[in-house]
Structure formats: C-alpha cells, structure tokens
Structure 1
C-alpha cells in the first residue's frame, strides 16, 4: 500500500502564514452629517450618503465618518444604496451605526476598489414593511389530505395570500432551522432547475437534485388573522408526511440581492460588520478579487426579535476569484443557505461545431465568466484530464438557451465526449484561512469548501441542518461548482449536532456530484483532518471519496451512527435513497480512495441502545 505524504503541510502553512491584506493609510476625513444625513430613524439617507461619497471621490478623501445612530434608506436611485465602487485607500467608518434598508438593491457595493476598509456597522432589513420569512405550525391536516392549515404565532395578521419560495423544517423548541426527520420542500415548481434540451443528460442530472417540489397547489385561503390554509397536490402524501405540531419556516425571499457584492477589488477589509437580515446573500466576492479579510463579522438574527432567518441565502460566498482571503473571529448562522461557500464555477455538456469551436451547454455568463483571452481546460465527464487547455478567442452567449459559443486558439481534441466539463482557469479561488469562527443554527451546510490551499482551524460548528464541512466538486442542472481541492488542513475544530436533518451520510463529507456515479479520478488531494472533536453524528462522522493522499488522525468521535445507514432517509426531504445506490459502513468511510491513512482516532458512545 502506498504511503501517505505530509510534506505538503509545511509548504501550505508557510504560504498561508504569509497572507497579508493591506489596509488603507490614514488621512483626511469628512462626516456624512455634513451632507445632511440624519440618524433620526425616519429620514431617507440615500441622497445624503451619495453626496458624501461623491465628495470623497472628488477630493480624494481617505475616510468617511458616520456619527453613531440609526440611518434608514427608503429608496435607492443607483445600483446600490452605498456605492463604494472605484474607491482607493478609503475607510468607511460606521462607528457602531445601524443602516436599515427596504429596497431590493445591494446595501453596499465594492467594485474596482483597492485598499478599502469598511468597519463597525450593523446592516438590517425593514421587516415591518416586508418580512423575509415566517415560522409556522401545522394546526390541522384535512382528514382527506386535501389541505393543511398553518398558524404563524409571530404574526398578528398575515396577508390574504402569502408568497414563498421554499419551506424548511424548524425546531419549535429551539426555534432554529432543521429538526430530526424534518422535511424540506419547494411548495410549487422548482424554478432553479434549468434543462439543456438534451433529454438523456437532463434526466441524469435531475437525479442529483434530491429536492421535493410541487407539494402545494397554487390555492391558499386565510382562515383567521394568522392562519392560512394550503391546498395540497397529493392527498396521500399529505396524510403521510404532515402532522399537527410540525413546525416549518416559510421563506418569502431567496436570491433577491447581493447584500455586499465585492468585485474586481484588491485588499478589502470588512471588520465588525453585522448583517441581521437581507433578502439575498450576505458578503459576496466575485471576479478579479484578490485579498479579502473578514474580521469579527456576524450574520445572525437580531436579538429581541422572533425572526427565523438572517440572510435569505449564503452568509458569505466567494467564487471565480484570485483568492487570498482570511475569515477569522466571525459568527454565521440562521441563513437560508450555507454559512460559507468557496468555489470556482464550471459547466457540463458540449456540441462540437468546428475544429476550434464548440457550444458549451448550461453556460450562464454571470456564472462561468468565459471571455476572450481566458484559458479554459476541458475535462472528461468523470473529471479526469483530457490534457487540453487553450485560450479563448471568442465567447458568444445565448441567454435564452443558456449556451455559449466558444472559439479556441488551439485545435480541439478528437472524440470529445458530449458530457465534457469546462473549467475557466482564469480564476483560482484558493489560499484561504478560516479560523476562530462560530457556525451555528443554520440551514444547509456550515462551510462548503471547493477551493485549494486552505486552513480550517479552531472553529465551532453546532446545530447545522446539513454537513458541518462539505468538500465537493460537480455538475448538475442547478449549479456546477468546484475545480477539485488540493491542499487542505482541517484541525482543532469542534463539530457538535450537525447534519441534524441527515442531508448527507456524514457531518464531514467529501465527494463529487456527477450524473451517473462517483469518479475514480482523485479530484481531492493532499488533505489532513486531525485533532477535531465530532459529537452527536446522526450517521457517519466522515465520508471521504474520489481522493488521494488523505490523512485522518487523532480525532475524537462521540455518539455516531444513530440512524440506520441503509434506509431511504437522505436528502433535504429526508426521503431519498443513498446516493448512487451506495452501501455505507462504519464511522469513517473511504470510497474510491487511494494512498490514505486513518490512525489514532477515538470512537466512543455515551448512548445506550
């Protein structure tokens, strides 16, 4: 058996120790109060802040001070409420102020900026005007299964018709996302499933979705001030899966905005920024960004409220970047999706049109960012290399068909598969540190790691609906993320009561999602998982697949394997069969793996069976 090699660890740690994000140099300052901003909790401050930022640009001022108070933004006349695009050597100092928004535009935009810092701010959404989610209790299930009724205790009154995109299980005792045997579903059609027109590959990709939809009919009836009757599509399903006392979180928003989009920016620091709520994703980095530092930031629900969600989707999402970022001493939770997602994008499916050209399927510009001059690598459907990388000379998108005509400098290889995968090598979201953070009470995953050269240490993961740590790469009809992972150190973390909804087979999961099966190609390489504590695992502690040179050592695992591994109780609905028809076994499982080491791990149970 081949020996594992840990020599990469020292190189990785030395490289990451050199990560440094430059901060703006001090200089001249101005107060936003000088431009008419009023922290009276009533005035709209959009125009006052816009005037202040125009002055900072014109006079090249280094600091904009915000006297502490509550500032409301009731309108937005531009692309964002606060436009920090193009700023250089600039500090926005909130001094503990709160900004309240009610328009579906980004709260702050940072595009094409350099050496910029935003600190000491609280950002929130106006729930009085438009709540982002409503927690409801099933109070009645029709005897014939034709409807259910839900009461919303936190609402004095509800509208005659409620709009929502997804409904998830909610723990009524803890008032947190997810619960044992909880069922998540999209009440109506799943609008995020996009077909390519190729029936065979579309059907195979649909198998990966593992998400219920079409549970409700588009008919609602308000029966009293805060109770709604929802008519259901399948009476037998309703009688079997809905019960009085079940608690659900009805989410009214999902991908409505990017709260703080950061694009094409270098050396950006966000310090002590709290996002209490947003109708979209929180911190979002994309494009030619290099050097991000998140220090002491929070995404969570506002204390003193009965809110059931913070950001409608991810707390922090970084993709298609140039890497180099630090996330430390942060707290993320109550989001509608992952706490952190790190990745580059890809697309799957091609049609050859010439010796140097092809049509890429499922290729959306905002996702893949193919442009002339960018290097693109072609991978086989199992993600093994074809050996072909070439620069683009043309990229012509068709938004309607979700395709892109690509022309390459070099001749294309012969006999490319229709399922070929395309990786945009212009981007490399790697070189990152996640340390000293808390990930708690969250729907979906704690952290989704799909980038190389990472260090994840001294964090706490607790009460996460899906996996605490998920390392993956793959392609399906809703999204295609990741270019594999090489170089990852996970150590000294505490993982307690995660994958509580049993989405995956393990609380630390490594694997691919591809039509057909897992791949023998080791897309995950050089990974060390050591000195972590896993407590209260519904099923396995770790499932590690499609990998090479992986070391798992000196971990403690307490109370694993609480649910049967073979039953059809996987996926967000907790009704799916094991993925790919696999057989699961043991507390730690390797699958399609080579050059592995598992040693000195302690497994114990405090539970009597």
Structure 2
C-alpha cells in the first residue's frame, strides 16, 4: 500500500512534465512544414518556387515522389550572387533556401533535369541542411565534343567530327558557337582537352589547351576544320572536349552552401553541372556520404562537372567525404583551403584595409566580427600574431576594412597577408574512388587534422597536392597534421606537365622567402602504388615528412613521361624519414635531396632501392 501511494504521488508529480514534453514534441513536428511534390508540370521551377515561397515557418521538408522533374530558367528566382571560384552575377536559381533553421530534401530516387544557365540549389544562412536520394543532370551539356579525324601541324589545322546526338552547337560565319542554348554561347572554345574514347579519361601526356581558332571551315561528311596552330595536337581518334571561355565557363555549382551549419548530403548523384558539384563557403560541419559525380551509364559524354567535384572555402568544424565516387570532372576531386587577403593600406593602429586578389574571390566574406586573424609579414610566410576582428566594413567586392580589438603589429605593411585562423576545418576522406578527370584528386590546405585513408586514386596531375599560395589563387594555407594511409594509387600523374603522386609545393610571391619551411607533419604510410612513371613524392619546404611502409610497383601499361626523375625528390626539407618501403621496377633513381634536406634525412629498411 505504501509503495502504491508513493507511485501515485510520483506519477502525479511527473504527469505534467510528460504532458508538457509531449506537447512540445507535437508542436515541433507541427512547426516543420512538410511539402510533398510530384512531377506534375513540364517545367517544375515555378512549382518548387511557389512551394518554398509559401513556407511560413523556419523548418521545411520537401518530399519528392520518384520520377523525372524538369527545370527551366524562365521562372526561376533572380538573384545577384557572389560565388567563390565561379563567376559573380545575376543567377537563375531553382531551389533557394535562405535563413531556415532546418531544410530537408528527400528525393526518393527522383531525377532532376535542368535546362540552360541555372543554379540548381543554394542554401544560405541555414542551421541544418540535409539532402538525400536524388540525381541531377542537364538535358544539354555546356560542352562541345568531337572525334579527332586528322591533324596537320605544318599547315596548322585539325579536323573534328562533332557529336550531334545530345549536344548543341552551330557554325556561324566561320565561328563555332556552343552550347547554343536559349541564345547563349561562349565567346571561344576556350579550355580544351583530349580524352581516350574507350576509357573516357584524359589522354596520356595531354596538356591543357586554350583554343581560339582563327576560323572554322565546314568540310564534307560533317567534318569541321579548325584553323589554329597548336603546341600539341591531339591524337587522331581521341575525343576533343571544350568548355568555353574562362569568364563564363563556371556559371554556378550544382549545390552552393554558404554560411550554413550541420550539412549532410547522402546518395546524391550529379551527372553534369555548370561549375562545381558541391561548393561550401564559410560553413561548419559537413558530410558527403555515398554521393557521386560521374557520367550516366551509356552516355556519349566525357565530362561531368565543368569544375571541381567538391570545394570547401574557409569552412570549419569536421568535414567528411565517405564512400563517394568522383569521375570525369574538369578540375579537382576536392579542394580544401582558406584565403589570403593582402594588405592594401594600414588606416590606423587598429584598422586595416585588405583586398581580395583573385578575380573569382570577389565578394567573398573573408572575415566576420569575432574571427581571429593571423598576420603574415613579408618576406616570411609564417603565421605570426593573431588578433580579433571587432568591426567589418565592406567597401566593395574587392576591398574590406577590418578593425581589430588589439593594436596592429607595428611592422604590418602593404603587401603583407592576412589569414583567417577561426575558419579552418578538420578533413577526412575515406573509402572513395576518384579517377578519369582533369587535375588533382585531392588538394589540401588547412592546419587542422587531415586524414586520407582507404581510397582508390587515379590522377591526371598529382594525386595528393599541397600548395598554399600567394601567387595567383591566394588560397591559404600551410598544413600541420596530415595522415595519408592505406590508399591505392594506380596510373597517376599522366599529364604532360610534370607532377608526382604526392606533391608538396608552396607557391609564394617573389617578395616571400622561397626556402623557408612551410608545411609540417605529413605522414605517407602503407599505401599501394602502381604507376608507369618514377615520381612518387616531390616535396619542397616540409618540416616532418614520413614516407613509410609503402609498396611501389612500376607498370608497363603506359610510356614513362619523366624517366629521369627520382622517386623521392626533396628540396629545402627537414626531418624526413623514408623507411621500410618496397619498390619493384627498373628505375635506379631512388632519392634526390639537396644539402639542407640531407642534414636530417633518414633512409633505411627499404627494399628494391
């Protein structure tokens, strides 16, 4: 009886709390607006726009029925956008989400087909973003493609049989115009690259070509003759692909995430985009799981996205790319970096005006109130003292005025660099496949923890690339804690330009020291390497590099491009260990190190050297 009375009193005490919790749960469920969408129109842009515009709260979930959804730019949202590493301007946006507490998109296997110049998805200032189970493509790709029929280097022309099925172009007044969609054409062929017709990867030994023919001539059997002397002519039988002029060939990424937190993309596949696949700017905690950027099965195309598969600029928190497949992009598999801003004028003891240097950084939010900023005093590239931003005044897209909590360094001068200390992420990539694309598999520039493990890599240029630089892109910065382990590298660095599987190569302006240590603490361990050429690791200005337990097998499936290079080439390095590696091949050029490196170099326990 006593126990029963105690239970009743406890129940009576707890019941209001249980009831309140239940009401709160119901309220939370009711607050999130769930919108179910079916492919009910030939152009789904106004349907989706109306659905998003009609959301009354700050939490929304869009649920798509499985099917094909087509999107055109006619009724898309117009918005002037600054998009890092793309062209700024007025964009046509299909899915625009701004200032939401949560956004969830469940695709249920739906396929989204876009037409013309469109920015499919933009998420800005959202606290939680989740996108699952959908495929994204374009009806007409923004590339030109043709088979190389004949080349004549003496007379300076190449004959191309253009693809017509699925592609759009026209010959007008001896000038090729493409993509010839809704009145838009590039001003020139621009960036052009040769691909192997069967494997659909970049031709062995190929160079990037900027194409601007003097004139184009119509020949018999649908062949076009391009009158243009070239440094290197593409092989007969290869597929030559062009993506247009540099000013316009990066319209927008498929997914732009800006000023957001807690982002997850799962089972999202991109077959084509007019720029990058996934772009993250000044965002925090992001995961890509089981996502893909690759060609549709059976397609005659050779290009997926016209720029990087994934790109992270001034992000923070934990970034994870897991079990993803990236192929046939026209730039890197991923690029993780910060931004260097250059001092334009020291205004007073607490205030400095800085400028963004690269033309595709204009309008980027380099710093916010509360951010800690490193000062980098020329000629040393080292991070010096940090200071906290208390005020930000945007002058225009190029110039920003920053006021700091403490006095500025007395020796701060025009031409020095600022780097954002607060916005740097840790990064993990595991279980991914990256291959058959232009440029590098992975580009890394963050001082936080980096882990690259259990991936399959094949690269046109370097597979793993470290290049903080203040020369052109102004992408910071130096790394301090990197593990690259248990990966499989096969057929890497087959560009005509010399590269290495792992290349560490800071590129700083002439005013900076060119021999001062830059990157630190990189471990390259237990990787399996099969490749035709010699260059495995090429390192410059590294303090703490361990190359251990790797197996290297020289293959004979392709002609070596740089047979005189050493497997390990070390310049201005300190504390390098090359231990317990195994080599199988014919090259006798093992280790090359300059005098500065040899003082602390340890090479032992290796086999086949």
Task: Tell me which interval the TM-score lies in, with the shorter structure as reference length.
Answer: 0.7 to 0.9
Q: 1:593 to 1:225 in 2, by over 3 A?
A: same
For residues 265 and 486 of structure 2, the distance between their equivalents in structure 1, rounded to whole angstroms, comes to: 25
Say if 2:277 is the partner of 1:277: no
Q: Among residues 104, 116, 120, which one is paired with 1:91 in the alignment? A: 104
Secondary structure in 1 aligned to 2:66?
coil
Matched, 1:376 2:373: yes
Q: Tell me if structure 2 keeps the 8 A contact 1:359–1:406.
A: yes
Q: CA distance change for structure 1 residues 63 and 389 in 2, over 3 Å: closer, same or farther? A: closer
Is 1:102 the counterpart of 2:115? The answer is yes
Q: Which residue of 2 aligns with 1:291?
A: 285
Residue 427 (structure 1) aligns with: 423
Deviation at 1:587, TM superposition (A): 0.9
Asked if 1:47 corresponds to 2:85, the answer is no
The alpha carbon displacement at 1:170 in A equals: 2.5
Superposed CA offset, 1:489-516 (max 9, x none): 1111001001111544311111201234
- The answer to whether structure 1 residue 186 and structure 2 residue 226 are counterparts is no
* Partner deviation per Cα, 1:404-459 (whole Å, 9 max, x = no partner): 4555454444454654222123411x222111111011111111111231111111
Question: Counterpart in 2 of 1:171?
Answer: 195
Distance 2:517 2:317 in 1: 23
Report the 3-state secondary structure (helix = DSSP H, G, I; strand = E; otherwise coil) of the residue aligned with 2:48: helix
1:70 aligns with 2:68: yes
CA distance in 1, matches of 2:343, 2:490: 39
Q: Name which of structure 1's ranges 103-112 and 518-527 shifts more when overlaid on structure 2.
A: 518-527
After superposition, the Cα gap between the structure-2 partners of 1:378 and 1:71, relative to the gap in structure 1 and judged at 3 Å, is same
SS of residue paired to 2:205:
coil
Aligned residues of 2:428 and 2:452 also touching (Cα < 8 A)? yes
1:442 corresponds to which of 429, 437, 451: 437
Equivalent residues in 2 for 1:588-599, closer than 5 Å: 588-599=568-579
* CA 1:370–1:225: 2 relative to 1, 3 Å: farther
- Counterpart contact for 2:372–2:386, Cα < 8 Å: no
Corresponding position of 1:257: 252
Report the Cα offset of residue 303 of structure 1.
1.1
CA distances 1:11-45 after superposition (whole Å, capped 9, x unpaired): xxxxxxxxxxxxxx988774534xxx425xx6111
Give, in whole Å, the separation in 2 of the partners of 1:376 and 1:157: 48
How far did residue 148 of structure 1 move?
2.9
Task: Quote the offset at 1:309 in angstroms.
Answer: 0.7
The residue aligned with 1:123 is: 136
Mapped contact 2:197–2:238 kept (Cα < 8 A): no
Q: Which residue of 2 aligns with 1:575?
A: none
| Structure 1: segments with no counterpart, 5+ residues | 1-24, 189-215, 567-584
Verify: 1:149 aligned to 2:159, yes or no.
yes
Instruction: State how far apart, in whole Å, the 1-side matches of 2:483 and 2:514 are.
Output: 23
Give the Cα–Cα distance (whole angstroms) in 1 for the partners of residues 238 and 62 of structure 2: 49
The alpha carbon displacement at 1:358 in A equals: 4.6
Conservation of the 8 A alpha-carbon contact between 1:67 and 1:95: yes
- How far apart are 1:545 and its partner, in Å? 2.3
Higher relative contact order (CA 8 A, sep 6+): 1
Q: What's the CA shift string for 1:365-418, capped at 9, x where partnerless?
A: 43462455543322134412343645364444344xx44455545444445465
Are 2:339 and 2:420, in contact at CA under 8 Å, matched by a contact in 1?
yes
In structure 1, the residue matched to 2:476 is: 482
Q: Shift of the alpha carbon at 1:106?
A: 2.0
Looking at structure 2, the residues matched to 116 and 391 of structure 1 have their Cα atoms a distance apart, in angstroms, of 28
Question: Is the Cα–Cα contact under 8 Å of residues 254 and 336 in structure 1 kept in the other structure?
Answer: no
Aligned to 1:197: none
- 1:283-362 correspondence to structure 2 within 5 Å: 283-287=278-282, 289-348=283-342, 350-352=344-346, 354-362=348-356
Say which SS state the counterpart of residue 423 (structure 2) adopts: coil
Question: How has the CA–CA distance of structure 1 residues 68 and 512 changed in structure 2, closer, same or farther, with 3 Å as cutoff?
Answer: same
Q: 2:389 aligns to what?
A: 391
CA deviation profile, 1:303-335 (whole Å, cap 9, x unmatched): 121011111111111111123121111100111
Q: Deviations 1:508-562 (Å, cap 9, x if unpaired)?
A: 1112012348744433222211110111153311112222222211011111893
Distance 2:384 2:371 in 1: 18
Change in 2 beyond 3 A, CA 1:404/1:26: closer
The answer on 1:551 being equivalent to 2:555 is no
CA deviations on 1:579-599 (whole Å, 9 max, x unpaired) are xxxxxx521223222122221
TM-score, with structure 2 as normaliser: 0.77
Correspondence for 2:85: none
Residues 488, 527 of structure 1: 8 Å contact kept: yes
- Greater Rg by CA: 2
Aligned counterpart, 1:604 = 584
Which secondary structure does the structure 2 equivalent of 1:304 belong to?
coil
Specify which of 451, 455, 459 is matched with residue 459 of structure 1. 455
The SS at the match of 2:329 is coil
- The answer to whether the 8 Å contact 1:548/1:596 transfers is yes
What are the ranges of 5 or more consecutive residues in structure 2 without an aligned counterpart? 1-27, 80-92, 178-185, 590-609
